[in-house]
Structure 1
């Protein structure tokens, strides 16, 4: 029974990572759980360089369409007019994946599965997305999550792609903007993750003030931004503000001195810079 369980875990590990059976066994014997082993594997540059230099014969096994359809049927809403998984099914899925419904990694999953909005998953996006990720069982899906979480936090291009998708994901059908409260909730998930992992690292520029202390956007500025939005009020956050805010926080200096008021920034960001400069001058 133990050997059979190990073989199943090895198959899942190889299916997710494309690693050799030898490497899969090594990581699983050390870390025991598939998801923990996969996470350790993706944080091991030696293992990654080895698999890149030695392609696996035929690649990882393809995910099964029939298995994915069966899983979709398990979670879909039987009372919904459309063929979709809704909020109740999403909660059950999160329980099975052992992931908090408010975990930032689910924003990456939402992008990969082309979820149209919070708590909704279409069959085509579900099948195509999980097939692309190489997972067709709950254990394999669980093992994919650490890889997506790491990539989201450390890969600037991937972070921006998921970030941009999140606006559409968060937006109510028929609306052109999202509420300030909703925007803050998603910024509260994405920004700390991207800052901690390097995906939101400051982009160097010739005009950066080297005498201004730490370069770039700081953790405290997130709270400044939220406080500014709450004081400002308004109808919500537009797509333009959402998209441009990502570029703003990657390029602005910590003292907000290099901001170009003549550039095509949204007026909300213009106003925030004035607010932030006052905070800086007042000693925060």
Structure 2
């Protein structure tokens, strides 16, 4: 093989890496070359790019095009209004190659400030995708991969998306979320957070206070927490109870409960300010554990 042939092959490989890097990050070709020359491998270069100080990174990222984002919005919006509705959302999901029931769409709803489930405003669409540095379907599709991972692994981000889910999915004028809808969202969010680590167990010693917080954490290093099967127990309990809706207080406190309760439900603080629904569920769960059901 000639030297010139080898150089052509090297250039072709580099061009492919640059294209892959730009697709994932929406960065400029210049920045792609800079990181690839330094880190050689695409995955390492991408990690380094996202770990670069935000100010420097922002300066190097080309700003998304407002006109491109408006054109995309017009492609999906309802012909009779200036919003993307259910039909447009389904078409968008087809183009992004994502299931309409994928948990990552809850993250997208949070980022784009979706006014309600399956709908998107022009302002939220343009501002949200700009913040995510996207103005093409290809870039959006790559961003979904990052958002899905962040939702599963970042506890703070998970909580933000989790709490927003209640607000954007609640029917206008109603204070609670229908039970079947709440269970559907829990069924998406809780397993994803458990598997990715966003809902990793926070051990707490029984009767602990702030002065003993560090000791309690040490005591519970190997403590088991919420199990996936307990989510189904929660659903069965709510169904047996016969309630029709889930209040915002119960929705928000359930997240803390999942993160802090031990696997045997032994360290539950009976005097804590938990909603009565969670108090009663603990008794229900303890009974199931005792009976082996």
* TM-score, L = length of structure 2: 0.82
Q: Does residue 31 of structure 2 align to residue 20 of structure 1? A: yes
Per-residue CA shift, 1:38-75, capped at 9, x if unaligned?
xxx3xx5x752466358559321111111101111110
- Aligned partner of 2:210 in structure 1 is none
Q: Match for 2:229 among 220, 223, 233?
A: 220
Per-residue CA shift, 1:167-186, capped at 9, x if unaligned?
01221111111111100100
Q: Any conservation in 2 of the 1:16–1:143 contact (CA below 8 Å)?
A: no
For residues 19 and 175 of structure 1, the distance between their equivalents in structure 2, rounded to whole angstroms, comes to 51
For residues 19 and 218 of structure 1, the distance between their equivalents in structure 2, rounded to whole angstroms, comes to 47
Structure 1 residue 131: Cα displacement? 0.1
Structure 1 residue 280: Cα displacement? 1.0
Q: Any conservation in 1 of the 2:27–2:60 contact (CA below 8 Å)?
A: no
For residues 28 and 110 of structure 2, the distance between their equivalents in structure 1, rounded to whole angstroms, comes to 20
Q: Any conservation in 2 of the 1:18–1:59 contact (CA below 8 Å)?
A: no
Aligned ranges 1:49-198 → 2 under 5 Å: 49=48, 52=51, 55=56, 58-80=59-81, 83-198=82-197
For residues 17 and 51 of structure 2, the distance between their equivalents in structure 1, rounded to whole angstroms, comes to 24
For residues 70 and 115 of structure 1, the distance between their equivalents in structure 2, rounded to whole angstroms, comes to 18
- The number of aligned residues is 266
Higher relative contact order (CA 8 A, sep 6+): 1
Q: Any conservation in 1 of the 2:25–2:46 contact (CA below 8 Å)?
A: no
Structure 1 residue 10: Cα displacement? 4.7
Q: 1:256 to 1:6 in 2, by over 3 A?
A: closer
For residues 223 and 195 of structure 1, the distance between their equivalents in structure 2, rounded to whole angstroms, comes to 14
Alignment partner of 2:269: what SS? coil
Q: Any conservation in 1 of the 2:203–2:262 contact (CA below 8 Å)?
A: no
Q: Any conservation in 1 of the 2:199–2:259 contact (CA below 8 Å)?
A: yes
Q: Any conservation in 2 of the 1:64–1:136 contact (CA below 8 Å)?
A: yes
Per-residue CA shift, 1:193-250, capped at 9, x if unaligned?
0000000011122337979x96111111011001101101112101110000000011
Q: Does residue 234 of structure 2 align to residue 234 of structure 1? A: no
* TM-score, L = length of structure 1: 0.84
Q: Which runs of 4+ in 1 moved over 4 A?
A: 2-10, 16-19, 23-26, 53-57, 208-211
Report the aligned-residue RMSD: 2.9
Farther off after superposition, 239-248 or 9-18:
9-18
Q: 1:199 to 1:23 in 2, by over 3 A?
A: farther
Alignment partner of 1:77: what SS? coil
* Unpaired runs of at least 5, structure 1: 31-36
Alignment partner of 1:151: what SS? helix
Q: Any conservation in 2 of the 1:16–1:60 contact (CA below 8 Å)?
A: yes
Q: 1:57 to 1:206 in 2, by over 3 A?
A: closer
- Aligned partner of 2:4 in structure 1 is none
Q: 1:191 to 1:16 in 2, by over 3 A?
A: farther
For residues 110 and 241 of structure 2, the distance between their equivalents in structure 1, rounded to whole angstroms, comes to 31
Question: Which protein shows a greater Rg?
Answer: 2
For residues 265 and 197 of structure 1, the distance between their equivalents in structure 2, rounded to whole angstroms, comes to 26
